[in-house]
Structure 1
Amino acid sequence: MAEARYDRTGRTYTATRRPDARIAARLRAALGPARSVLNVGAGTGSYEPPGTVLAVEPSAVMIAQRPPGAAPAVRGVAEALPLPDDSVDAALAVLTVHHWADAAAGLAELRRVARDRVVVLTWDHTVTADFWLLRDYLPAAAATDAALAVPTAAVAERLGAAVHPVPVPWDCADGFACAFWRRPEAYLDPLVRAGASMFSLTPEAELRTGLDRLAADLADGSWHRRNADLLDRTELDLGYRLLIAELRAG
């Protein structure tokens, strides 16, 4: 499933999905002293720490966009990781669990191959659903998001993980779905939308009316008046969550 999605929608990732240094710092802190890391659902290599010994990614399109010098990558899926038990210090999965065919099996695999910890970045749809773009303009994308989402509480329970909010900075460099919360004009750009699953997997016809309304509201100032409380914010909690499972402690 993930392979087919990203072969279709992942072609623009290197243009719009550059890692944000602040989010990268949170991930590095979560990985702690891990010296060997497996990156699962690794995509183009964003947020891949220097200690990565292997990247697992189902899509050839995504692997082809990995930069020179990135960790070795193999085509594979989270549900059947090509490593023996306890073979790496940490397993990392960044905004990928929602694309796995069997999330429970994939999470069990992360715990199987990691000795010390598992780190997962995901999102809580119950929070994201109230994002102004989905709530006020793109209900069809909200429905796509709901269908994609894996409940954060269920992921945390299966991993035995602590859950930490990851606020989105207003000038986030990584163009994931909610990154442009204070830069609404960006959502009118097809290239930006192509880099986020909830938009790229929603038929354009189902987005068109809402996007046209957003354009009109930006032109006449309605959006800025309605969302004035956001304009001075430097970060916002939009549901992104960092899950950290300490396996030795558990």
Structure 2
Amino acid sequence: MNAPLYDTIGLDYANLRRPDPRIAAAIETALGDARKVLNVGAGAGSYEPSDREVTALEPSAEMIAQRPAGAAPCVQGVAEALPFEDDSFDAVMGVMTVHHWTDRAAGFAELRRVSRGTIVLCTFDPLAGVQWVLDYFPEMAELDRQFMPTMEEYVERLGAVEISPLPVPHDCTDGFLYAYWRRPEAYLDPLVRKAISSFWLIERVEEGLERLKADLADGTWKARYGHLLGRDSIDAGYRLVVSRG
């Protein structure tokens, strides 16, 4: 996991990345009847179930500092070396964290080691298709190909898995990269971009922002993508991967 990056972008992250209740419901359903849950790469605590015994693990001190009062206890550490005994948890979960691991083979093995059963991971399929955001920031597509595991890798590492789309609602409250697919003006806001790690990892951000701003002003964006404005949700490539052990 990239703790130094999140030590930088983590400022005010909790306010900009509020869990969306529809995504939270999908995670809760996938966790089933698990009572003792480990949340790996927990950040400020998004999507941690409130009605279960949760332990959080997070590498970034800045993110840990933003966890609200009453949040689950948090241990500073990394997925590749979990400081827990074998079979310590009924289930392990992680939300958009796998692509930050420095050794995915070790991370997956550690998740399986400490879980007595279920592993629930929210991730992104780099082969799911092109979103309009990439037309303005094409470098992000290369980031996805470089860092995001394919769905086949989850099968390779975890065995049989259930993979299902996580639709992104048009009013998604969690400000991840494609959350604003129907609110393009949001990407022009530096506070919005601050909470999206991809914008910190590419070089030609200003160039893309200028083109987006111009296309919104003269109607080009609407002409190209206006068909999206009537949709309530889209499949933007986010996936829920569940291993039952």
What's the TM-score bracket when you normalise by the shorter of the two chains?
A: over 0.9
Tell me which residue corresponds to 2:10: 10
- Is 1:41 aligned to residue 36 of structure 2? no
Instruction: Give the C-alpha shift of residue 148 in structure 1.
Output: 2.5
Instruction: Give the C-alpha shift of residue 210 in structure 1.
Output: 1.4
- Is 1:145 aligned to residue 106 of structure 2? no
Q: In structure 2, give the amino acid aligned to 1:229.
A: H
- Is 1:219 aligned to residue 220 of structure 2? no
In 2, Cα distance between equivalents of 1:52 and 1:101: 28
In 2, Cα distance between equivalents of 1:158 and 1:48: 24
Contact 1:28 1:49 in 2 (8 A): yes
Q: In structure 2, give the amino acid aligned to 1:164.
A: S
SS in 1 for 2:128: helix
- Is 1:85 aligned to residue 83 of structure 2? no
In 1, Cα distance between equivalents of 2:194 and 2:141: 16
In 2, Cα distance between equivalents of 1:171 and 1:53: 28
SS in 1 for 2:243: strand
Tell me which residue corresponds to 1:232: 230
Gaps of 5+ in 1: none
Contact 1:44 1:62 in 2 (8 A): yes
Taking only aligned residues, the RMSD between alpha carbons, in angstroms, comes to 1.2
In 2, Cα distance between equivalents of 1:224 and 1:153: 36
In 2, Cα distance between equivalents of 1:48 and 1:166: 17
Instruction: Give the C-alpha shift of residue 94 in structure 1.
Output: 0.6
Q: In structure 1, give the amino acid aligned to 2:157.
A: R
In 2, Cα distance between equivalents of 1:78 and 1:156: 18
Contact 2:13 2:44 in 1 (8 A): yes
Tell me which residue corresponds to 2:185: 185
The worse-fitting range, judged by mean Cα deviation, of 191-200 and 116-125 is 191-200
In 2, Cα distance between equivalents of 1:210 and 1:103: 31
Gaps of 5+ in 2: none
Instruction: Give the C-alpha shift of residue 116 in structure 1.
Output: 1.7
Paired residues in the alignment total 243
Tell me the TM-score normalized by structure 2.
0.96
Instruction: Give the C-alpha shift of residue 57 in structure 1.
Output: 0.5
Instruction: Give the C-alpha shift of residue 32 in structure 1.
Output: 0.5
- Is 1:168 aligned to residue 168 of structure 2? yes
- Is 1:115 aligned to residue 116 of structure 2? yes
Instruction: Give the C-alpha shift of residue 159 in structure 1.
Output: 1.4
- Percent identity between matched residues is 56
In 2, Cα distance between equivalents of 1:48 and 1:63: 14
